[in-house]
Amino acid sequence: MADFADATTTELERRLGPLKVVSIVESFTYLFLLYFWLSGNRIGTLMLGSMHGIVVCLFAGMVWFIFRKLDWSLPFAIFTVVTGPIGALVLFVRLRREEPDIHAREQARLASKRSYHGGS
């Protein structure tokens, strides 16, 4: 991954926050869509349905592009996308749990890269 010259974080670290946000948004848009669908509100269902569809596509794309960099398995990535809001919440919890380790690993990689190139 390309990093900025003076960045104190890696690209992978910068992607974790937006992925957590999108996973929560995916779950909430699903719940609101379910509410409108069960209440019989056709306009709300159509509006939330299209919005939720966009969020699901965004979530799936983000998972697809980041799961290997996080050393996650393909079955886990597929599970998070296929199971919808449940998978999104599982991903959110896993990211929160693994974030310190990811940060430490990425900072070590960044430090070794700087020392290799003669940086401080």
**Closest by Cα among 39, 22, 44, 28 to 91:** 22
SS3 readout for 44-109: HHHHHHHHHHHHHHHHHHHHHHHCCCCCCCHHHHHHHHHCCHHHHHHHHHHHHHHHHHHHHHHHHH
Question: pTM of the entire structure?
Answer: 0.83
Number of domains in the chain: 1
**Within-domain flag for 8:** no
Domain limits for position 92? 16-114
pLDDT exceeds cutoff 50 at 1: no
pLDDT, average across residues 57-84:
95
**Within-domain flag for 37:** yes
Q: CB of 81 within 8 A of CB of 65?
A: no
pLDDT exceeds cutoff 60 at 2: no
pLDDT, average across residues 21-33:
96
d(CA 100, CA 85): 24
Mean pLDDT estimate for the chain: 89
